[in-house]
Amino acid sequence: MKVLVAVKRVVDYNIRPRIKADGSDVDIAGVKMSINPFDEIAIEEALRLKERGVVTEIVAVTIGTAACQDVLRHALAMGADRVILLESDLELQPLGVAKLLKAIVDKEQPGLIILGKQAIDDDAGQTGQMLAALMHAGQGAFASSITVADGEAVVVREVDGGTETVALKLPAVITADLRLNEPRFVKLPNLMMAKKKPIETIAASDLGVNAEPRLKLLKAAEPAERKAGIKVANVAELVSKLREAGAI
């Protein structure tokens, strides 16, 4: 079975984003970029399914400019068999991404599609579910465990107050939560080898999909800082301050 994994290039999670002087957007010029952490978990899960003999081929795909090649190299270094760059300089939003991924799904016909549950830049958490909708397929969002058997994927999902298990007919779409696995460390020789592997590039505009953004970004701003508090000397002082504040 073939697995398609969708990955996104985002501002590294350790970086505190800066906002452009005119407040029009986040300034990512010269900022360290990385693979979205949840997408790395998605790749890791595909690798484990392959190691268990369930999966035969792992195809990683990303959408964006040529700069996004680095996350595909990362996917290759982790062990993806093949990678695709859907080249586009549109501002990509979840619905547009889902439509473009649907076009790739139609072309590649994977048995399973795994994505991260959310991208840590826009924090939207929509793409996987939207893709499943467009495919009229079942979805297993926020997965913490995946088993594939008898043409079904059995997914344990993290929900408010516990977990839920669903069985999905393949092809299905699964989004990876944090507890799904711990991604392997990419070794330097693998990264060097990945540099030599081919990246299939497709112009997104050739897919006949309208991926124009629907939401207009009017403004980006920093949230109001909390007023600095005080340090208390001991528990007794803490209790009296809390009482004064009416918190207890």
Partner 1 sequence: MTVLILAEHDGKQIKKATRQAVTAAAAWNAPIHLVVLGHELQAVTAEAAAIAGVSEVICVDAPALAHALAEDVAALLLDLAPKYQVILAPYSAAAKNALPRVAALLDVAMISDVISISAPATYIRPTYAGSVLTTVESSDAVQVLTVRASSFDAAANGPAANIVDHAALAALSSQNQARFVSATHTISDRPELASARVVVTGGRPLETRFDAILNPLAAKLGAAIGATRAAVDAGFAPNDLQVGQTGTVVAPELYIAAGVSGAAQHLAGMKDSKVIVAINLDPDAAIFQVADFGLVADLFEAVPELTAALVAE
Ligand X SMILES: Cc1cc2nc3c(=O)[nH]c(=O)nc-3n(C[C@H](O)[C@H](O)[C@H](O)COP(=O)(O)OP(=O)(O)OC[C@H]3O[C@@H](n4cnc5c(N)ncnc54)[C@H](O)[C@@H]3O)c2cc1C
Burial 74-106 (b: 16+ CB within 10 A, else e): bbbbbbbbbbbbbbbebebbbbbbbbbbbbbbe
State which amino acid sits at residue 104.
Answer: I
Binding mask 195-224 for partner 1 (x = CB under 8 A): -------------------xxxxxxxxxx-
Cα gap 61→8, rounded to integer Å: 9
Least Cβ distance, residue 196 to partner 1 (angstroms): 34
Cα gap 21→44, rounded to integer Å: 38
Least Cβ distance, residue 178 to ligand X (angstroms): 7
120 lies in the site for ligand X, by CB under 6 A: yes
214 lies in the site for ligand X, by CB under 6 A: no
41 lies in the site for partner 1, by CB under 8 A: no
Considering only residues 28 through 87, tell me which ones interact with ligand X, judged by CB under 6 A: 37
Q: Is the CB of 37 or the CB of 138 nearer to ligand X?
A: 37
Least Cβ distance, residue 64 to partner 1 (angstroms): 17
Distance in Å from the first CA to the final CA of the chain: 58
The residues that touch ligand X, with contacts defined as CB under 6 A, are: 13, 37, 120
